[in-house]
Amino acid sequence: MDKQDIIKQLKESKHSKVKVAITDIDGVLRGKLMHTDKLISALESGFGFCSVVFGWDMGDFAYDSTELVGWHTGYGDFDAQLDINTFRTIPWEDDTPFLLGDFSNKTDGDIPVCPRSLLKRVIAEAEKMGYNPMFSQEFEWFNFRETSHSVSEKNFQSLQALTPGMFGYSILRMSENSDFFNALFEHLKSFGVPLEGLHTETGPGVTEAAIQYSGILEAADRATLFKSATKEIAYKHGIMASFMAKQTSKLPGCSGHIHQSLWDKDNKNNLFYDEAASDHMSDIMRSYIAGQLYCLPYILPMFAPTINSYKRLVEGAWAPTTLTWGHDNRTTALRVLAASSKATRIEHRVVGSDVNPYLAMAAALASGLYGIKHGLKLDIPPTSGNGYKNLSHGVLPANLFEASNKMKDSDIANTLFGDTFVNHFTTTRAWEWRQFSKEVTDWETKRYFEII
């Protein structure tokens, strides 16, 4: 639909309000209900949205040292623009209309720290090079029979999992909770977030969903909306969905793998596929992989943005720790699938479920394009067997502090995303590390309380 079609539908709607949302630096949807008349005006001229959404963390505590936004700026409004291509209705909220937006300034251009705007800038670069990026994301997450009140009362301890035991790909567990899973599948489809598949994963109450692939901006929108929608639909069924990367040291973590390929402008030819090559990998694909591996250590916080992210990236837990790639190898950072012209793609396995999809996809695409632009050769051979043991090309930074410092001091990160974004983003990650460092953990209490 074009803008006039949407305006007509809004005027004829039984609803007098529309839900609008933007995404903050952590990938959290921040939004409001807006009167239809105000929304129609906003479609034409934009609207003000408080800049504090880039000046505080996910717990609404104000950062103490960011330059673009802070007490020194007075927390005025940024100019937000709604994207009519994101228009949909929310089926579990009586088909309330919904729109996504991002931040831009008609005079000065995009706000550099806006995740969706950053992705759009990287997409424009790809299109200028003649490429149409096609992406999709898949998520694993834990489900609990809890409410926001009950988890708080329990201090997030001894929570009741949706199902007990380890039962991946279980038909029984899906059937046991069919009302929730059927609602999830159907509501997401109606919400414009169609799933390719949905199944239980290893771990109590763990589920995995693969979102259907699309153009990269739509893919990032779908991924972002998927996480929020899944939580909302779960609430309706007395369930809490958690996308923490690592719930417990006793179980594997939760991934957010990104699948990616480059197509021609007409979207007819997969440019990663080469029928004549013995491994069916084109030179473009090889340079793209080389770029991703080369840039990965310097932009890791965009794939692993939280303290908890790095608890998932440990040996033998289905998440990569080394700078490796391989053919259909789930122990490497990049898994190459090159079976046919339609399906040839790269699966980025570093990405966790706690990620901001806009930043992760921007990082994946920008680093791949870096390899193509600089004619990088894929000199690293594919890893056969255990990628955890292949240390010959380096390992990933071990925690958020190390990864953020590496990104902050990186010419590569600044080249890919600009100084303003890199400075702001790494400052927010340093803040996150400082908040964690002040806390006394359960591990410390158990370790030192009596014996030391």
Give tens-digit pLDDT for 129-159: 999 999 999 999 999 999 999 999 999 999 9
383 pLDDT higher than 90: yes
Q: Find the mean pLDDT for residues 348-357.
A: 98
* 216 occurs within a structural domain: yes
Domain match, 74 and 174 both:
no
Domain match, 262 and 363 both:
yes
The model's confidence at residue 106, banded by pLDDT at 50, 70 and 90, is low
Domain match, 152 and 273 both:
yes
Domain match, 165 and 63 both:
no
Residue at a domain's end among 356, 389, 422:
389
pLDDT of residue 109: 65
Domain match, 88 and 170 both:
no
Domain match, 244 and 183 both:
yes
Are 112 and 66 in contact, with CB atoms under 8 Å apart? no
Domain match, 343 and 200 both:
yes
The model's confidence at residue 440, banded by pLDDT at 50, 70 and 90, is very high
What is the C-alpha separation between 88 and 95, in angstroms, rounded? 9
107 pLDDT higher than 70: no
Q: Is 253 helix (H, G, I), strand (E, B) or coil?
A: coil
Residue at a domain's end among 82, 111, 140:
111
* 398 occurs within a structural domain: no
Q: What is the mean pLDDT of the chain?
A: 95
Q: Which of 292, 298, 415, 416 is nearest to 345 (CA)?
A: 292
Q: Which of 176, 46, 169, 37 is nearest to 102 (CA)?
A: 46
Domain match, 98 and 155 both:
no
272 pLDDT higher than 70: yes
What is the C-alpha separation between 241 and 229, in angstroms, rounded? 10
What is the C-alpha separation between 185 and 421, in angstroms, rounded? 36
pLDDT of residue 316: 87
* 243 occurs within a structural domain: yes
- Indicate the pTM of the whole model: 0.97
Q: What is the pLDDT of residues 297-338, one digit of tens each?
A: 999 999 999 999 999 999 988 899 999 999 999 999 999 999
Give the residue with greater pLDDT, 319 vs 106: 319
Q: Find the mean pLDDT for residues 192-219.
A: 97
Domain range spanning residue 231? 127-294+311-389
Q: Are strands 17-23 and 96-105 parallel, antiparallel or unpaired?
A: parallel
pLDDT of residue 1: 79
* 419 occurs within a structural domain: no
Q: What is the pLDDT of residues 235-258, one digit of tens each?
A: 999 999 999 999 999 999 999 999
Domain match, 134 and 237 both:
yes
Domain match, 239 and 380 both:
yes
The model's confidence at residue 110, banded by pLDDT at 50, 70 and 90, is confident
pLDDT of residue 344: 98
* 357 occurs within a structural domain: yes
What is the C-alpha separation between 205 and 116, in angstroms, rounded? 31
Q: What is the pLDDT of residues 174-204, one digit of tens each?
A: 999 999 999 999 999 999 999 999 999 999 9
Domain match, 142 and 258 both:
yes
Whichever domain contains 42, its CATH number is: 3.10.20.70
What torsion do the CA atoms of 284, 285, 289, 294 make, to the nearest 10 degrees? 0
The model's confidence at residue 105, banded by pLDDT at 50, 70 and 90, is low
The rounded percent of the chain whose pLDDT value lies above 90 is: 95
108 pLDDT higher than 80: no
The residues, any chain, with a CB within 8 Å of residue 244's CB and separated by 6 or more, are 142, 254, 308, 353, 354
Q: What is the pLDDT of residues 66-82, one digit of tens each?
A: 999 999 999 999 999 99
* 205 occurs within a structural domain: yes
* 440 occurs within a structural domain: no
What is the C-alpha separation between 427 and 59, in angstroms, rounded? 16
pLDDT of residue 175: 95
Q: What is the pLDDT of residues 393-408, one digit of tens each?
A: 999 999 999 999 999 9
Residue at a domain's end among 372, 389, 406:
389
pLDDT of residue 233: 98
Q: Find the mean pLDDT for residues 216-222.
A: 98
- DSSP code, position 260: E
Q: Which two tokens stand for residue 133?
A: 């990026």
pLDDT of residue 44: 84
pLDDT of residue 49: 94
* 137 occurs within a structural domain: yes
pLDDT of residue 91: 98
Whichever domain contains 337, its CATH number is: 3.30.590.10
Domain match, 185 and 284 both:
yes
Total structural domains within the chain: 2
